[in-house]
Amino acid sequence: MKAITIIKQSFKAIFANKGRSFLTTLGIVIGIGSVIALMALGAGVKTTISSRISTLGTKNLIIRSGGGLSQNAASAHMGGGASGAPGPTAQEGIGGGSTSTLTTADLATVRDKKKNPYVKMAVGTVSGSAILTTTAGDNRFSITGTEPDHFKIQNYSIGKGAFFSQTDVDNRAKVIVLGSQAATDLFGSKAAVGRDLTISEAVYKVVGVLKKVDESGFTNPNNQAYIPYTAAFDSFQVEKFSGMTALVTDENRVNDAKASIQKTLLANHGIKDKKLADFNVNSSADLLSTVSSITGIMTSLLSGIAAISLLVGGIGIMNIMLVSVTERTREIGLRKAVGAKTGDILGQFVVEAVLLTLTGGLLGIGLGYGIATAAGKMLGFAPAVTPNAIMLAVGVSSIVGLVFGIYPAAKAARLDPIDALRYE
Amino acid sequence: MSENVIELKGIQKVYKTGDEDTAALAGLDLNVRRGEFVAVMGPSGSGKSTLMNIMGLLDRPTAGSYMLAGQDVSRLSVGKRAAIRNKEIGFVFQQFNLLPRTTVRENVLLPTIYGKDKQAAQRVDRIIDEVGLSDRSKYRSNQLSGGQIQRVAIARALVMEPSIILADEPTGNLDTKKSQEIMNLLKDINAKGATIVLITHEESVAAYADRVIRLIDGVIAGTEAAS
């Protein structure tokens, strides 16, 4: 009865100054909103990336050069330009200045059954890009230099024409296989096979178009083009692979294969300390845990920054509660005269502050959900507002109200009724 | 013979201002019988307000004893005094009697929030009717006239059925006609058995009381029965 009356009165007091109450809670709304949005986006990004990583195949090992292509130098005299590494981390494309370290000799040793008994197949890849003229104007396409086994490892099947052959690789043949989307972009509805494309001043003949495949990893194979790696060496003026992909014989042998490949390559490169390796070998499980920890760190970092606005919001609440206590000094005096005890007044103002922040928290959940949904739509993944995040928001906003409401409330409760009644 | 609701003996209240001690009340004795209507008069600085605050348990005397409804209340803690104010004392102030933006009924119910008397809330409509505001019980305090505000304050003072009603210049902000109405209402309530102590500086208001006490310099200078 008493509690309900106090909550009712608090609502009344809050609604009596609608505009002020709203502005006061805005800090909390924004704080909680951004924490919720960031947590939801973080969870969404993680889910999306995780599902993409799992499509990479649980039996594949991805070997990448320690740094990636020195694409600044490469693109300068290449026109098309070799850009970035094929790997899932974008940092290599940004960094520049690092070099490919994986040689054809390395590839041969990785394939060596004596050294790597659990490696069923392995291919080297060279990543580059070129500007090609599409039906809708010029566009930059990712081009992967590789071998026919690449299509087997990735489970790609041919739609029209054929994959290029090992002979094409050996002959440094200027032939190209297009992803389904790339073919449509370049030639529209017309047949792509048999047409010519110019990459870094060399004319490539289209020999095949892949069937549409599900997006996997961090690249969309449908938008890619594939050429023999030897041709890629020529066109991109490189001599080493930017990466390799190895198919392991058995899912249970992934870690064994990873260890043996590491050992082989370290020996090839004459590096004794594993930490100094100029390459890295990752399974999809490794990538998954890396991504989890990165998104986890990013989410908590950003949420932490957003939480600062909660602190600021809390100070705003305290400020306005102090104003409210001063304005309502005579009301407090009157309440005390008719029998309100110190605890009653304390309770009333704390409840008011908590209701303010809690309302702000609930609005913030709505705002955060809205932002996360809108951002998810734009970026193309589903954000996840978890019950945990909502409970956290409700809890945190209540605690903010409690912490920042207690001082003004104590000030109100300590007022002397005689002074309070006489207050002008 | 009727019992005393209020027994004040040797009440002193000394305020320290710098090095000087100022006695607002200098050993005051006063008894108020149950059902009595007493007016306290005196010039400003005579100690009226201090007396009111001590009788209303808003303040503690420096010395002396105070028996309220047979209970020694001279040296009680803040919390105990709040409980006794709630149960035994009904206040009617000169101004700021009501909570803003709050209905008549909710204002009258205010003391019941802080009290243990479960029946108090059931009396509210009868009491609002007694002060002549039953048609206005849903009105908010800002929709009421000065006279109506004082009626609500009187209703609130009655709701806990206190031993004593303390009215501090209840007609101070009202015109003559409204003052008369309020004084007639207080007189009616007194006739129904309520004990009232009224503080005023107006002779015409004091004339409604059974007994007028004149305060000068913190002591009772004279007592007279009203005509």
User: Quick one: pLDDT at residue A81?
Assistant: 39
Q: What is the pLDDT of residues B80-123, one digit of tens each?
A: 999 999 999 999 998 878 888 889 999 999 999 898 877 877 88
Count of domains observed in chain B: 1
User: Quick one: pLDDT at residue A217?
Assistant: 57
Confirm if B205 and B183 have CB atoms less than 8 A apart: yes
Interchain pair B100, A16: CB under 8 A: yes
User: Quick one: pLDDT at residue A359?
Assistant: 92
Owner of token pair 């690249």: A219
Give the 3-state secondary structure of residue B188: helix
User: Quick one: pLDDT at residue B107?
Assistant: 92
Interchain pair B115, A339: CB under 8 A: yes
User: Quick one: pLDDT at residue A1?
Assistant: 54
- Which residues, at least 6 apart from A330, have a Cβ–Cβ distance to it below 8 Å? A420, A421, A423, B96
Interchain pair A338, B53: CB under 8 A: no
Q: Is A7 in the B-facing interface, judged by CB distances under 8 Å?
A: no
Tell me the whole-structure pTM to 2 decimals.
0.69
Please tell me the distance in Å from A311's CA to the nearest CA on chain B: 32
Structure tokens at B30: 């006063």
Structure tokens at B84: 């006794």
Interchain pair A334, B86: CB under 8 A: no
Q: Is A337 in the B-facing interface, judged by CB distances under 8 Å?
A: yes
Nearest by CB: B93 against A339, A340, A421:
A421
Pairing of strands B63-68, B71-72: antiparallel
Structure tokens at B20: 């000087």
Structure tokens at B37: 């209507």
User: Quick one: pLDDT at residue A218?
Assistant: 62
Long-range pairs for A260-266: beta carbons < 8 A, 24 or more residues apart = A260/A115, A260/A116, A260/A117, A260/A118, A260/A119, A261/A61, A261/A63, A261/A110, A261/A116, A261/A119, A263/A115, A264/A106, A264/A109, A264/A110, A264/A112, A264/A115, A264/A116, A265/A63, A265/A102, A265/A106, A265/A109, A265/A110
Q: What are phi and psi of A41, to 5 degrees?
A: -65, -40
Each residue's pLDDT tens digit in chain A (424 positions)?
Answer: 577 887 888 888 888 888 888 888 998 999 899 888 888 888 888 888 777 777 667 788 888 887 433 333 333 333 333 444 343 333 333 333 346 888 888 999 988 888 889 999 999 999 888 888 777 778 888 899 999 998 888 888 888 888 999 999 999 999 999 998 888 888 888 888 888 888 888 889 999 999 988 766 566 888 889 999 999 998 888 889 989 999 998 888 888 888 899 889 888 888 888 878 888 888 877 877 888 888 888 888 888 887 788 888 889 899 999 999 999 999 999 999 999 999 999 999 999 999 999 999 999 999 999 999 998 888 877 888 888 888 988 998 999 999 999 999 999 999 999 889 888 7
Confirm if A102 and A279 have CB atoms less than 8 A apart: yes
Pairing of strands B63-68, B164-168: unpaired
CA distances from A251 to A119, A123, A284 (A): 11, 18, 11
- Which residues, at least 6 apart from B214, have a Cβ–Cβ distance to it below 8 Å? B41, B42, B220, B221, B222, B223, B224
Confirm if A119 and A247 have CB atoms less than 8 A apart: yes
Picking from B87, B94, B99 by the largest number of A CB atoms within 10 A of its own CB, the best residue to mutate is B99
- pLDDT band (50, 70, 90) for residue B2: low
Please tell me the distance in Å from B131's CA to the nearest CA on chain A: 19
Interchain pair B97, A2: CB under 8 A: no
Q: Is A340 in the B-facing interface, judged by CB distances under 8 Å?
A: yes
Nearest by CB: A337 against B85, B99, B100:
B85
- pLDDT band (50, 70, 90) for residue B226: low
Instruction: Taking the CA atoms of A70, A75, A76 and A78 in sequence, report the sign of the dihedral they define.
Output: positive
Q: What is the pLDDT of residues B67-84, one digit of tens each?
A: 998 889 988 899 999 999
What is the interface size between A and B, counted as CB pairs within 8 Å? 59
10 Å Cβ neighbour count for A273? 7
Q: How far is CA B162 from the centre of its chain?
A: 10
Per the structure, the complete domain to which residue B200 belongs is given by 4-225
Q: Tell me how far apart the alpha carbons of residues A315 and A69 are, in angstroms, rounded to a whole number.
A: 51
Q: In this structure, what CATH number is given to the domain that contains residue B70?
A: 3.40.50.300
Q: Which chain A residues have a beta carbon less than 8 Å from that of B56?
A: 337
Nearest by CB: A342 against B78, B93, B97:
B78
Radius of gyration over alpha carbons of chain A, in Å?
Answer: 32
pLDDT, mean of residues B129-155 = 91
Picking from B88, B96, B107, B161 by the largest number of A CB atoms within 10 A of its own CB, the best residue to mutate is B96
Picking from B78, B103, B107, B114 by the largest number of A CB atoms within 10 A of its own CB, the best residue to mutate is B114
User: Quick one: pLDDT at residue B3?
Assistant: 85
Interchain pair B97, A344: CB under 8 A: no
Q: Which chain B residues have a beta carbon less than 8 Å from that of A339?
A: 82-83, 85-87, 111, 114-115, 160
Please tell me the distance in Å from A341's CA to the nearest CA on chain B: 6
Nearest by CB: A336 against B59, B82, B115:
B82
